[in-house]
Chain A
Amino acid sequence: MKKIIEVKALKKVFGKGERQVNAVKGISFDIYEGEIFGFLGPNGAGKTTSLRMIVGLLRPDSGEVKILGENPHKSGNKLKEILGIIPQNPTFYEDLTVEENLWFLAKIYNIPKMIAKERINSLISRIGLEEKKKAITKDLSGGQKRRLNLILALVHDPKIILCDEPTPGLDPQSRIVVWEFIRNLPKQGKTVILTTHYMEEADRLSNRVAIIDNGEILVLDTPENLKTSIGEGDLVEIEVSHLGDTEIESLPGYLLALDPPLHLEEVSTSQSVCTIRALDVVPKLTRILASIENQGFSVNNLSIRGTTLEDVFINLTGRRLRS
C-alpha cells in the first residue's frame, strides 16, 4: 500500500507559563492510500490540533508532515486541490443558501462550471439535502448543517479528506446516512482521516484507529486487534446492591477462586458494577449469579456485550472516553 501521509514527531504547544497547553506531544504515524484512519480520543485530546497541523492551517512547533512527499506548509497551491477538510464546527456562510455555499467553493477552487454543476447536484442528493437546496443555511436544522458541512469539502473532489467529528448532534438515522457516506469514500479512491470521540464510529468506519489522549497516541491498530489486545471474549456487567457486610471489592477474588473454576479471563469492579470478561460466557452465567448472591449481594441489572474500543481506552487510561 502506498503511503499518502507521513507524520513524524509532530508537536504543538499553545500559550506560555501557567497557560501552557501541550496540545500535541510528538505524534508519528503513516496513512495509506484508500484507508479510513480514525483518531479516537476524548475532548481536548489534540485531535483537531493534529488535523490542522496536517493540512497546513497550523504550524507545528516541531516535527514534520509530508503529504505525497510535500510539506503542506511550503507546497503553495499544489496540495490545496488534493485536501478537503471537514471542520468540527459547521463552516459556511450562514446568509447564503445551500447551493450558493457549494457554488462558492466550486468557484474558489476553480472547478469548471459543467463539472461543478453535476458534482454539486450529486453531492446534494447523496447527503439527502435536495429539499433544502434553496434554503438559507441559517435556517437549517443542526443535523442538516452537519450534512452540508460534510459535502462542502467534497466540491473540489479532493483525494484526501480530513473529517473532524462528523456526527455529533445527529439523530440515529442521519448518523447512518453520514456513516454510509464516509464509508463509501474509499471506493471513490479517497483517503479519509476521521476524528471522533464515539468509539462506535471509530470502530465501524475505520480501517485503523489511533487512540489519542493528552496529545499522545496510546495505541494504533485495526479496531479488531485493539479489541482483542485487551483479552478475548465478551463482557458481562452486573449491577449489584449490597445486603450483607461483604465489600464489593472482594468479589473478583472470590469469583476467580471458585472451584471448579469458571475460566473467567478478568473480573473487575467499580462502584456497584462488577465486570466480568470470559469466553463463551452465557453457560457460565447461572453459576456466576448464584455465587454473587451467596456472598450477600442482590443483582439489580445485567448486560452482556462484546468488547468495544471504549474498553480499550479504559484499559489504557483508567478513564472513560466521555466523562
Chain B
Amino acid sequence: MSVRQALGISHRIGLQIIRSRWTIPYLILFPIFFIGLYWFGFSASPIGENQTFLLGIINQDEGLTDEIQLLFQNETLLGNGTLQEFHSTDVLSKGFGSEFVNILGNLTYNNQQNSSHIFEITEYSDEMQADSKLKNRELDIVLILPRQFSNASLGILNGYWRNSYGLYFHEYLQTFDASIPDLPINISEEVIIRGDESYLNYQIANSILGNILNAYLDLTSAFRGPGGSIQIAMNEEYQVSIPTFSLFGLSTPGLIAFGIIMQPSLISLFFCMEFRPKNTTFDIIRLSSSPTTYILGTFLIQIPVMIGQAFILFTSSLLMGFQPNGDIILAYLIALTILPFSASLLYFTTAIFSNEDVVGTILGFGGPFLGFMSGAFIEVPKIILFKEIIPTASGFPRDFLIWDLIPLTHTVSALRQVMLYDFTLIQVLPDILLSFVLSLGFFCCSLLFFAYFRFWRSSQ
C-alpha cells in the first residue's frame, strides 16, 4: 500500500465528483432545500414553551457553620450596618441551598401573560429514589446540591469581594474585630444534574437549569457592597433568560447530519458504476492495487467533500436564522470532523454490497434511513440493548439502545447537545468517543468485507 496510490484513487474520484452533474444538486442544493423547507415550516413553532418541568432535588447542603452564623450575629458589625442586609435573610439559618430551591420553585415564565411555573419541585433525601423516578420519566431532571453548597457560595462572594476591594470579606471584617474567623475561600463543589440525555424534556430542562446556575453564579459574584454593606437579595434580582426552542432549531443538527449522510449515497452511485456487471474498471483496480489502498483512497476524498458540505450546511442554517444556544465553534468542530468520519462509514457499507444499479439505489436510500434511525429528525423508539452502560457527564449512565450501534447516533446527539443545550466538550466526550470507536470498528469490518466480496470472491 502506498499513499501515492491512494491519492491517485482520491484524485480520480474527485474529478468524477466535480464532473458529475449530480454533484451540485445532490450534495448542496438538495440538503439546503431541505433545511429551507424545515425552516419555512417549523421555525415558528416553539416547543417546550410554558412547559413545567418535573424537577427532583436532593438538597445535601449542610448550611453555614455555627461559627459563621455567629459571626453574622456580631453586634459591632450589625451596629455599623455592615451585615444588616445579610442578617435579615433566611440564608443564615437555612443555608444557601434551600434558598436556591426556593428560588427555583418560584421561577415563572413571566414573558407570557400566564405566569406558569418553570419547575415543579419534589425534594428527595435518597438518590436511588430520585434515579428510579428519572428512569420511569416521572421526573424530567434531578438536581443534587452538594454538602458544601452554602460554604462554596459564600466562598464565591468572598472571592468577589477580594477582586473588587483587594481584601477578602473576612479580612475587611477583621479590621473591625480581629477575633472574626476566616470565611471560606475557593471551595470547589459540584452541583450535579442528572437525567436521561436522550429524553427531550431533560435536554430542555437541563439547558434552562444551566442558565439558572450561571445566573446564580453571576448573582452571587455580583454582590455589591455600597458603603461596605452586603446585599443578598436573590429573589428580586433573579432574571434568567429561558432559551427557546423551535422545531426547526431542534431539527437543525439532524438536518445538517442528514445533508452529510446524503453524500455517501452519491458516492455509492460512483461505486455502482464501478461494480456494474459489465463494467471492467474494477478489474484494473484489482490488478493494480489492494483493498486497503482502494479504501484509503476513497476515504481521503470522502472526508474533504463532507467537510466542505458540513460547512455549507452549517453556515446556511445559521444564515436562515438558526440560533444555537451553545458554543458555535465546538459545534463547527464536531460538524466538520467527527460527523464526516462517522458518516463515511455508510459509504463503505454501500461499497461492499452494491453491484447493481438497483442495489446501489436501495443502499443510497439506506443512508438517509440510517440518518432517521440515528435520531436525526425524530425521537426513535427505545429499544434497549444494554441497560445503563454509557457514561455521561451527569454521572447517570445511559442505556445503550439499538440505534446506538450507529456511529451517527452519537455524532448527531453530540451535535445537538452542543448546539441546543450548550453542552461542553467534556459533556459530549462520551458520545464523540463512542462515535469514533464505532466508526473505526465498522471501518475495519467493512475493510474485511470489502476485501472478501470485491477482491476475493469476485474472482470465483
Chain A residues with CB under 8 Å of chain B are 55-59, 73, 77, 80, 83, 85, 87, 89, 91-93, 95-96, 100, 103-110, 136, 152, 156
Given known A80-B288, A96-B16, contact A85–B283 (CB-CB < 8 A): yes
What 8 A-B pairs are tightest by C-beta distance, nearest first? A107-B8, A91-B280, A95-B19, A87-B280, A108-B288, A59-B459, A104-B12, A108-B8
Q: Which of B9, B15, B283, B289 contacts A57 (CB 8 A)?
A: B283
- Are A85 and B12 neighbours in the complex by a CB distance under 8 Å? no
User: Which residues in B have their C-beta under 8 angstroms from that of A96?
Assistant: 12, 15-16, 19
B80 interface contact, C-beta 8 A = no
User: Which residues in A have their C-beta under 8 angstroms from that of B289?
Assistant: 108
- In whole angstroms, what is the CA distance A92 to B282 when docked? 9
Instruction: List the B residue with the shortest CB-CB distance to A61.
Output: B460
B5 interface contact, C-beta 8 A = yes
User: Which residues in B have their C-beta under 8 angstroms from that of A57?
Assistant: 283, 286-287, 459
How many A-B pairs have beta carbons closer than 8 Å: the answer is 71
CB distance from A88 to the nearest CB of B (A): 8
CB distance from A144 to the nearest CB of B (A): 18
- In whole angstroms, what is the CA distance A103 to B7 when docked? 12
- Are A87 and B285 neighbours in the complex by a CB distance under 8 Å? no
CB distance from B182 to the nearest CB of A (A): 72
Could you give, for residues 53-88 of chain B, a 1 whenever the CB lies within 8 Å of some chain A CB and a 0 otherwise?
Answer: 000000000000000000000000000000000000
User: Which residues in A have their C-beta under 8 angstroms from that of B278?
Assistant: 89
User: Which residues in A have their C-beta under 8 angstroms from that of B288?
Assistant: 80, 105, 108-109, 156
B281 interface contact, C-beta 8 A = yes
User: Which residues in A have their C-beta under 8 angstroms from that of B387?
Assistant: none
User: Which residues in A have their C-beta under 8 angstroms from that of B4?
Assistant: 107, 110
- Are B287 and A104 neighbours in the complex by a CB distance under 8 Å? no
Q: Which of A59, A91, A95, A105 contacts B16 (CB 8 A)?
A: A95
User: Which residues in B have their C-beta under 8 angstroms from that of A107?
Assistant: 4-5, 7-9, 11
Q: Which B residues from 1 to 33 make CB contacts under 8 A with A?
A: 2, 4-5, 7-9, 11-12, 15-16, 19-20
Could you give, for residues 279-299 of chain B, a 1 whenever the CB lies within 8 Å of some chain A CB and a 0 otherwise?
Answer: 111011111111001000000
- Are A105 and B284 neighbours in the complex by a CB distance under 8 Å? yes
User: Which residues in B have their C-beta under 8 angstroms from that of A100?
Assistant: 12, 15
15 of the cross-chain contacts (CB-CB < 8 Å) are: A56-B459, A80-B287, A85-B287, A87-B280, A87-B283, A91-B281, A91-B283, A95-B15, A95-B20, A96-B19, A107-B8, A108-B5, A108-B285, A110-B4, A136-B19
- In whole angstroms, what is the CA distance A77 to B280 when docked? 20
- In whole angstroms, what is the CA distance A108 to B298 when docked? 13
- How many chain B residues touch A (CB < 8 A): the figure is 27
User: Which residues in A have their C-beta under 8 angstroms from that of B7?
Assistant: 107
- Are B12 and A93 neighbours in the complex by a CB distance under 8 Å? yes
- In whole angstroms, what is the CA distance A106 to B289 when docked? 12
User: Which residues in A have their C-beta under 8 angstroms from that of B11?
Assistant: 104, 107
- In whole angstroms, what is the CA distance A85 to B4 when docked? 22
User: Which residues in A have their C-beta under 8 angstroms from that of B15?
Assistant: 95-96, 100
Tell me what chain B mostly uses at the interface: helix, strand, loop, or mixed: helix
- Are A59 and B12 neighbours in the complex by a CB distance under 8 Å? no
- In whole angstroms, what is the CA distance A319 to B284 when docked? 35
CB distance from B168 to the nearest CB of A (A): 69
Tell me what chain A mostly uses at the interface: helix, strand, loop, or mixed: loop
- Are B459 and A104 neighbours in the complex by a CB distance under 8 Å? no
- Are A58 and B459 neighbours in the complex by a CB distance under 8 Å? yes
- Are A110 and B5 neighbours in the complex by a CB distance under 8 Å? yes
- In whole angstroms, what is the CA distance A156 to B288 when docked? 10
- In whole angstroms, what is the CA distance A103 to B4 when docked? 12
- Are A91 and B19 neighbours in the complex by a CB distance under 8 Å? no
User: Which residues in A have their C-beta under 8 angstroms from that of B20?
Assistant: 95
- In whole angstroms, what is the CA distance A57 to B9 when docked? 20
- In whole angstroms, what is the CA distance A104 to B7 when docked? 10
User: Which residues in B have their C-beta under 8 angstroms from that of A110?
Assistant: 2, 4-5
Instruction: List the A residue with the shortest CB-CB distance to B17.
Output: A95
User: Which residues in A have their C-beta under 8 angstroms from that of B2?
Assistant: 110
CB distance from B29 to the nearest CB of A (A): 20
- In whole angstroms, what is the CA distance A95 to B20 when docked? 8
CB distance from B16 to the nearest CB of A (A): 5
CB distance from B372 to the nearest CB of A (A): 32
User: Which residues in B have their C-beta under 8 angstroms from that of A89?
Assistant: 278, 280
Given known A95-B20, A96-B16, contact A55–B8 (CB-CB < 8 A): no
- In whole angstroms, what is the CA distance A93 to B8 when docked? 13
Instruction: List the A residue with the shortest CB-CB distance to B294.
Output: A108
- In whole angstroms, what is the CA distance A89 to B280 when docked? 7
CB distance from B322 to the nearest CB of A (A): 36
Q: Which B residues from 253 to 294 make CB contacts under 8 A with A?
A: 278-281, 283-290, 293
Could you give, for residues 297-311 of chain B, a 1 whenever the CB lies within 8 Å of some chain A CB and a 0 otherwise?
Answer: 000000000000000
Instruction: List the B residue with the shortest CB-CB distance to A138.
Output: B19
CB distance from B406 to the nearest CB of A (A): 32
Interface centre among A58, A103, A107, A156 (most CB of B within 10 A): A107
User: Which residues in B have their C-beta under 8 angstroms from that of A56?
Assistant: 287, 459
User: Which residues in A have their C-beta under 8 angstroms from that of B5?
Assistant: 107-110
User: Which residues in B have their C-beta under 8 angstroms from that of A87?
Assistant: 280, 283
User: Which residues in B have their C-beta under 8 angstroms from that of A83?
Assistant: 287
User: Which residues in B have their C-beta under 8 angstroms from that of A59?
Assistant: 459-460
- In whole angstroms, what is the CA distance A152 to B288 when docked? 12
- In whole angstroms, what is the CA distance A272 to B460 when docked? 48
Instruction: List the A residue with the shortest CB-CB distance to B16.
Output: A95
- In whole angstroms, what is the CA distance A105 to B288 when docked? 8
- In whole angstroms, what is the CA distance A77 to B16 when docked? 27
CB distance from A60 to the nearest CB of B (A): 10
- In whole angstroms, what is the CA distance A109 to B278 when docked? 24
Q: Which of B8, B9, B284, B293 contacts A91 (CB 8 A)?
A: B284
- In whole angstroms, what is the CA distance A77 to B293 when docked? 13
- In whole angstroms, what is the CA distance A156 to B8 when docked? 14
19 A-B pairs besides A107-B8, A110-B2 with CB distance below 8 A are A57-B283, A57-B286, A57-B287, A59-B459, A77-B290, A80-B287, A87-B280, A89-B278, A93-B12, A93-B281, A95-B16, A96-B16, A104-B12, A107-B11, A108-B8, A108-B284, A108-B285, A110-B4, A156-B288
- In whole angstroms, what is the CA distance A59 to B8 when docked? 28
CB distance from A53 to the nearest CB of B (A): 9
Instruction: List the B residue with the shortest CB-CB distance to A153.
Output: B284
User: Which residues in B have their C-beta under 8 angstroms from that of A152?
Assistant: 284
CB distance from B20 to the nearest CB of A (A): 7
User: Which residues in B have their C-beta under 8 angstroms from that of A80?
Assistant: 287-288
CB distance from A161 to the nearest CB of B (A): 12
Given known A59-B459, A89-B280, A91-B281, contact A108–B9 (CB-CB < 8 A): yes
CB distance from A12 to the nearest CB of B (A): 10
User: Which residues in A have their C-beta under 8 angstroms from that of B284?
Assistant: 85, 91, 105, 108, 152
CB distance from B24 to the nearest CB of A (A): 15
User: Which residues in A have their C-beta under 8 angstroms from that of B293?
Assistant: 108
- In whole angstroms, what is the CA distance A107 to B278 when docked? 25
Instruction: List the B residue with the shortest CB-CB distance to A83.
Output: B287
Instruction: List the B residue with the shortest CB-CB distance to A152.
Output: B284
- In whole angstroms, what is the CA distance A80 to B4 when docked? 17
